Structure 1
Amino acid sequence: MATKKRVHQVEHEDVLVQFNKLHFDPVNPRGEPENDEEKIRALFGAESETAILATHLAEHGQNPLDRLGIIEHSKLPGHYVIREGNRRLCAMQLLRDPERSPTLAVRKTFQRLASTGRPIPDQIQAVLFHEQPKARVWMSVKHEGPQNGLGTLTWGPTQKARFNREGETGTTRPKNPNRQAEALLTYAVTRELISAEERALISITTVTRYLPNVRTALALLNTEDCLTNAPPEEFDAALRQFLKDAKEPGSPGVKAEVHSRSSAAERKTYAESLRNQGLSPKTRDLTPYDPARQPATQPATKLVTRPRSLQHPGKRKHLIFSSFVVPVRDPILLRLVTEGKELDPDQYRFSCNYLIRVILERIVYRYAKQHGVGAQGEFSDVAQRVITHAKASNDPPSKGIATVLTKTADKKSVYSYDMLSNGTHGGSIPSGADNRSNWETLQPALEYLLSHMT
């Protein structure tokens, strides 16, 4: 005897609907009941979040993982009411017709987006629910939180950083600030510098908070990953200590040395402690490599640890110390510094003098531009604004560094921008010893400025 199969009624289906046949839901959790569609559009259109959503729609189009949920209109045959996605409907309506914007400012925003972004199509993919209660079931799953695993689970900082390792998500979404911290933590667990249990006790946001100060101390060469020019064993030792110090102690009232409520001064002091304890990598002249992407025991390009030079710094062979790193994304500055680490100050007197001047200028102007203090005008004026800003910051320079920065704008100082410019304008060219001395004096000040930029 054949078994009778139970036939399920179709509760919803994928459909293509004409855009101009979509209507706002008069009953929406985002506002009180309202039957006037113009007023609903004005309500959503005035929200700044709607403009952000529209920007993303203009760049990427409708989210295929989150389609509109609709039901048939009770009074207009062939028309539909939006049950899920009313704010998206508003954003798309204003992108198609910016003149419907509630204010002039909103209109200008949507006119710009409409002129440069993807057009909103005449037909929209949606999910048609044949019974309104069924739509409510899925709306609850989406909007009422995790619900013990039923709803969407929100990503924390670590999950977001792991996701962002795969690549960018477009200009409408900023790069995840915890990217480098996550890369360091993942590398540390993989390399067994810390255990998985210890990793669970380290806040990724705390690591990110400290990185601007400890990046140089750890011999990190950028703000993205584990790129370094230090030998694996020295890099690992410094990173291990930093992460151990960031581990929550687990005892009530006991605070980790690296903690979330630290001040700028405390973070600066901690970075200096890594150097004072001899934990900061001392050898930094290897070809840059990412230890997370190649075996630490077999670095690419056959990295060989070179013995430290015992020469007096004033007699060193190259202009720039190998320990000087560029922790910001600036390919031109990195190239200048790299070549400065190869130039002999005695043999290339003019080139070294000019290189110091260009590096000084580029770092000062970059700091001014990034902090919005004015990067236009004579160097001395820009430098003065930079000094004033730095002194007023939460992490002001030491008295010695402030003095050096001040003298770069003093036309009489031997390492000022104007004096460094003499040689390029036909004046006297500094000796090799002068070039070395000028760089040694300027390096701490330049490191300070670089550590306060991204």
Structure 2
Amino acid sequence: MRLELDPENPRLDRTLSQSEILVHFAEDPKFRKLAADIASSGLNPLESRLVVPVKGKSLLYRVMEGNRRVAAVKLLFEPELAGQERYVTIFKRLSAESKIPLPSTIPCVLLDNDEEAFHWMRVRHGGEQGGTGIQPWGPQEVERFNRRIGKRGQNSLAHALLEYAKTKKIVDETVAAAVPITSLTRLVNDKTVRAELGMRVDDEALATQLKVGNLNRVIKNVLTALASGATKVDQIYSQESRTKYIRQVLRDEGISEDRFGRSSIRLDAGAAAASLGSISSNRTLQRTKRRSIDRKTLVPRDFQLAIPHPRANAIYHELKALPVNDFTNAAAVLTRVFLEVSVEHLLNREKLKFHAFNDSP
């Protein structure tokens, strides 16, 4: 049984011969990536190659579905058919470096005629078709899968926030499904927004020091507005606009400076609302690099700390950027202001009274 590629494959902009089809595919970077995957993992067991008999030719069958994969296997066995020398070299390397036996046979589904194949080709390539076709994963489905395999994706923090909101019934499934995940990602991936909400990334999960009541109100406000379209992309497009937006949300919800609790809340589906301990024992983010003792700034640039107080957080970041030797006085003043703001915030939060010492005899 021999296979020939479909010269009328919709992927081709014109009718080509068998050798021309192979050269055409070999020039495509995505096709070469497919060939590399086949060389390392084999043919995808989730997909079938559909073939039909070629009229008037015994034991010859035309590939109606799966042309790229069949072509990739052929080029892995016969790299010299790839056309230009650089592509020949690539396929020779892929074949030589394959860690599994290359598929010497290709499982196929034999259909009677083209019309029978056309139905399944439409199902495969024609979009969702109201449920008949393949329904691709959206961003939320991709994130759930990434979490399942222990991989953190770009939208993982936003997804964790959504899962927390659904678990705690802050919003229902309908609202959660309508939230544009990329817009939510813009917010939760913004360090300034996280500082306003007392959030940090702890062991690749999102945690916050907002009091539970404050937290849930903010989440409901943000998710509902995103889902309904009330919050537009341009309102959260830049860092400045995102900061303005989240501060307005806090004002709308009547949440003041005294919005942080004594313990942290971890925002993921498995540990929703679980306390991480008192503030005094909270861990800062792990450093990925050793701090250098020969640094030029007061706060090492690779040191990471989540500071919920907006002004203290802003000063902290300035101290990470300000060269001490060049701006000694400015660094000293900033350090003093940082300490004063921090102490004042602590006194107000804990409702402590400050008694001045009298140094006079």
CA RMSD of aligned residues (A): 4.5
TM-score scaled by length of structure 1: 0.57
Q: CA deviation at 1:187?
A: 1.4
Q: CA deviation at 1:35?
A: 5.0
Asked if 1:267 corresponds to 2:235, the answer is no
Relative to 1, partners in 2 of residues 1:83 and 1:200: Cα closer, same or farther, differing over 3 Å?
A: closer
Partner of 2:112: 130
Partner of 1:221: 201
Instruction: Pick one of 71, 75, 84 that aligns with 1:94.
Output: 75
Matched residues in 2 for 1:246 and 1:221: separation? 20
SS at match of 1:164: helix
SS at match of 1:106: helix
What are the within-5 Å matches in structure 2 for residues 141-180 of structure 1? 141-167=123-149, 176-180=153-157
Q: CA deviation at 1:242?
A: 4.0
> Which deviates the most, 42-51 or 208-217?
208-217
TM-score scaled by length of structure 2: 0.70
Counterpart code for 1:148 = G
Asked if 1:45 corresponds to 2:29, the answer is no
Q: CA deviation at 1:201?
A: 4.1
Matched residues in 2 for 1:225 and 1:106: separation? 44
Tell me, yes or no, if the aligned pair for 1:94 and 1:100 is still in contact at 8 Å. Answer: yes
The runs of 5 or more residues in structure 2 that have no matched partner are: 305-313, 340-361
What are the within-5 Å matches in structure 2 for residues 402-421 of structure 1? 405-407=321-323, 410=325, 413=328
Partner of 1:247: 224
Counterpart code for 2:300 = L
Q: CA deviation at 1:70?
A: 1.4
What are the within-5 Å matches in structure 2 for residues 250-399 of structure 1? 255-256=230-231, 262-270=237-245, 277-278=255-256, 282-283=260-261, 292-294=269-271, 296=273, 299=274, 304-305=277-278, 325-326=284-285, 332-333=287-288, 360=300, 362=302
The CA deviation string for residues 143-185 of structure 1, in whole angstroms up to 9 with x for no partner, is 122222221123322233233332269xxxxx64223312211
Tell me, yes or no, if the aligned pair for 2:127 and 2:135 is still in contact at 8 Å. Answer: yes
SS at match of 2:106: strand
SS at match of 1:69: strand
Matched residues in 2 for 1:280 and 1:161: separation? 34
Counterpart code for 2:323 = K
Matched residues in 2 for 1:207 and 1:221: separation? 16
The runs of 5 or more residues in structure 1 that have no matched partner are: 1-16, 170-174, 309-317, 338-351, 365-397, 417-433, 442-454
Q: CA deviation at 1:25?
A: 1.2
Matched residues in 2 for 1:163 and 1:357: separation? 42
The CA deviation string for residues 388-411 of structure 1, in whole angstroms up to 9 with x for no partner, is xxxxxxxxxx89956852416x57
Relative to 1, partners in 2 of residues 1:183 and 1:280: Cα closer, same or farther, differing over 3 Å?
A: farther
Q: CA deviation at 1:56?
A: 3.0
SS at match of 1:82: strand
Q: Give 1 or 2: higher strand fraction.
A: 2
Matched residues in 1 for 2:259 and 2:93: separation? 50
Tell me, yes or no, if the aligned pair for 2:4 and 2:62 is still in contact at 8 Å. Answer: yes
Identity of aligned residues (%): 24
Q: CA deviation at 1:109?
A: 4.1
Matched residues in 1 for 2:261 and 2:142: separation? 34
SS at match of 2:43: coil
What is the aligned length?
A: 324
Tell me, yes or no, if the aligned pair for 1:219 and 1:280 is still in contact at 8 Å. Answer: no
